[in-house]
Amino acid sequence: TDAAIAVGALGPRMRRLAAELADAVVLNWLTPGAATEAMADLRHDSRGRAERVRGVVYARTISDGAARAALQKEADRYGSYASYAANFARLGIEPIDATVNRSSALHAYDGIVDEVVLRAITAGGTLEELERFAETTAQWRSEQAGA
């Protein structure tokens, strides 16, 4: 197939394997600072490859303060999983630190990763909330493009 293969990778060993074999590495639960380090590792680990391996950050995101409790619940849930807790400890961050809740938090990834995937977190998961999320985050992006 000509389809690109992206591999989700949490820790350094899986990121290294993905850098060696995949077309893209999907990085998860990283602050911009941690993403900077992960991207440096990605470039190093993929240096023998003919084609550039893309780095993608998957970030849990709210665009409305009413969703803050849902975002915290998601962060707490992942923080309770042993493998994620070990990764957060290794990075010296709390899960909530690796989330996006405003335009500037999204733009903090600019120039660090090749792509950002936003995981919409809303208070109730309604279609209206998801539409507002899409509109708001699109506005965040256009604000940056105009800056």
pLDDT of residue 57: 98
**Tokens found for residue 70:** 């849902």
Please identify which residue in the block is written with the tokens 């941690």: 34
Instruction: Give percent helix, percent strand, percent coil of the chain, each to the nearest 5.
Output: 55, 15, 30
pLDDT digit string (tens) for the chain, length 147 residues:
789 999 999 999 999 999 999 999 999 999 999 999 999 999 999 999 989 999 999 999 999 999 999 999 999 999 999 999 999 999 999 999 999 999 999 999 999 999 999 999 999 999 999 999 999 999 998 887 766
pLDDT of residue 147: 60
Structural domains for the chain: 6-146 (3.20.20.30)
For the chain, the C-alpha Rg in angstroms (whole number) is 16
